[in-house]
Chain A
């Protein structure tokens, strides 16, 4: 009951008031999302686990001094991101200066012909989309996920990635353009398959 109906904000407030039940519900609600997000920044699962552990211990320990979060999810994602980056080696911290980094070009745009070779199997097609997605520069992929999976505002994405809001928009739109092209191709393929069967 607590898990399904209660809003993030109420849950958070209840945690701050010292409810251990709410604390566990909050953990269960966010662990997988945080884990998945963390793994994207740092491939080492143990480091991600440690960062999540740290994050929740921090929340509990400082619950008397924490404020009502504007967005609970944003607060946690941002804290996790900081923790993971802090745990990374100092030299890789320079990777934070994304504003100046040239966006890598998508490794290879697949040719339309190559798509038609697996037309029998729609599962393979959505796998394909998935592959392209993971072939996006990590930065673009992250921005895309933050916007369209986590539903963050561009201002929040800019805050998280330490970039300007307009840059965040561009990042997302660029990734989307590439993907959309591919997705439209996919639609044609799927249509072909359906046509083929009926």
Chain B
């Protein structure tokens, strides 16, 4: 090691050595301690060199000024700079001025068209206040969903960390109203004369009689409604629907069918309809199970699609003429919806895509 031959002057001259003395790190300290262990005869040189450097440092730092003086000088600098900046800017080249003007226009127009919706966040607490009658509150502090049965016969599976409020005199007014924070699965008893409303953050869900799930935790970016059975209408809460930036679609709401979901983005107040992640067969949820057989033997493609459409309650869009010559044979009893679609499309050389809440089938058709 070259350091083993070093004199005091050499150490002081060495940039690594100085770096260690001036800004020691765990690694550099370990290195130099190790060095002295291996070359104890160099201990004096190292110590002297180090002391000298530290003394120099102390000398410089001994003539530092007060913090007050440091601050005062900076204030004066800022003052002097500030005065100069009030003078008109003349030195900017023309193209920079044009660029600056253009960017102002750009920013302005971006702001006009994309200005963030005034974020009036509707929370559980705000929603509750609109109730004219005294409310009961149920809070699920447990780690499992709890079952709540309402006076009209409807039931609610309330997820953990969620709470729900409803009138003490539930089912006595002209509508049934529930306020939700968190997640819950609803099975609403049919009563066409008394619509059932769920207020969850900025989203209002209106139903007559059906089952569906709502997820609306306070910190969530979205509010989600997933429908299992029946029809559900969802819309943005009236309190924020009068804002000009909100489109009619969000105000008037959309209708959801089974296996469909609506997701409300709380920031942009945009409502998007799509399919739920794992569509389930209607027969498992409806009171009178319909039997669908997914065993196909040289079945017409259009028949296959129609059957799936019925079984899941999902719109399947396809050109009947194109696929009229396609035949399909398989047993798809145990496959999920998407697995079924994969297998069918592969065998008839077609593709499918999900658009909104519909499944679109495309392909060239089959030649016998």
Contact = CB atoms under 8 A, between A and B. Distances in A.
A126 B15 CA distance: 23
Interface string A110-137: 0000000000000000100110011000
Interface residues of B, number: 35
A115 B57 CA distance: 22
Contacts of A40: 63
Contact of A126 (B9, B12, B58): B58
B64 A36 contact: yes
A57 B80 contact: yes
Interface in B25-75: 44, 47-48, 51-65, 69-70, 72-74
A96 to B, nearest CB: 22
Given A129-B55, A149-B56, A52 B63 contact: no
A60 B84 CA distance: 11
A58 B91 CA distance: 16
Nearest to B8: A180
Given A45-B65, A134-B59, A148-B18, A27 B77 contact: yes
Contacts of A151: 15, 18, 22
A106 interface: no
A138 B74 CA distance: 29
A5 interface: no
Given A27-B74, A64-B91, A126-B51, A176 B9 contact: yes
B80 A145 contact: no
Q: Interface majority SS on B: helix, strand, loop or mixed?
A: helix
A179 B77 CA distance: 39
B130 interface: no
B76 interface: yes
Interface string A52-64: 1100110011001
A35 B74 CA distance: 13
B107 interface: no
Contacts, number: 101
A39 interface: yes
Contacts of B47: 187
Nearest to A148: B56
B368 interface: no
Residue of A49, A52, A53, A148 with highest tally of chain B CB at under 10 A:
A148
A11 interface: no
Contact of B59 (A31, A53, A60, A145): A145
A180 B22 CA distance: 19
B298 interface: no
A129 B80 CA distance: 42
Interface string B325-362: 00000000000000000000000000000000000000
B99 interface: no
B55 A126 contact: yes
B44 A53 contact: no
Contact of B70 (A32, A134, A179): A32
B44 A33 contact: no
Given A27-B74, A36-B64, A53-B80, A173 B59 contact: no
A49 B73 contact: yes
Interface of B: 8-9, 12, 15, 18, 22, 44, 47-48, 51-65, 69-70, 72-74, 76-77, 80-81, 84, 91
Enumerate the 6 nearest inter-chain pairs by beta-carbon distance, A residue then B residue, closest first: A32-B64, A36-B63, A183-B48, A35-B65, A129-B55, A149-B56
